[in-house]
Amino acid sequence: MKARVTVMLKAGVLDVQGEAVRHALGTLGFAGVTGVRQGKVIELEMADGDRALAEANVKGMCEKLLANTVIESYRVEII
């Protein structure tokens, strides 16, 4: 079983990398881009056969290591 975690900065937290990408896109001629938020995707191979247990374990991983929950939010998908 696989799990996919998407981690993004929370709304209101300045995304410096996103702003750099937005600016670079503008200089490359893509003038219609008004905002960029950059995040990360983490895919995990899980040995658990129980979807609910796997999801609970991944959420625990996010809370302890994969996301800085002070400034980031995360979404877990079991795939």
Query: Domain total for the chain?
Result: 1
What pLDDT is stored for residue 49 in this prediction?
82
Cα separation values, 69 from 35, 38, 47, 62, Å? 23, 16, 26, 8
Strand-by-strand arrangement of the 2-9 sheet: 39-45, 2-9, 72-78
What pLDDT is stored for residue 57 in this prediction?
96
Alpha-carbon dihedral angle through residues 13, 15, 19, 20, given to the nearest 10 degrees: 150
Would you state the structure tokens that stand for residue 15, as one six-digit string?
Answer: 């995304």
Confirm whether pTM is higher than 0.85.
yes
* CATH number for 16: 3.30.1280.10
| Structural domain boundaries, residue 30 | 2-78
Per-residue pLDDT tens over the stretch 28-79: 999 999 999 999 999 999 997 899 999 999 999 999 999 999 999 999 999 9
> Region 20-31: what's the mean pLDDT?
97
Would you state the structure tokens that stand for residue 40, as one six-digit string?
Answer: 């990360």
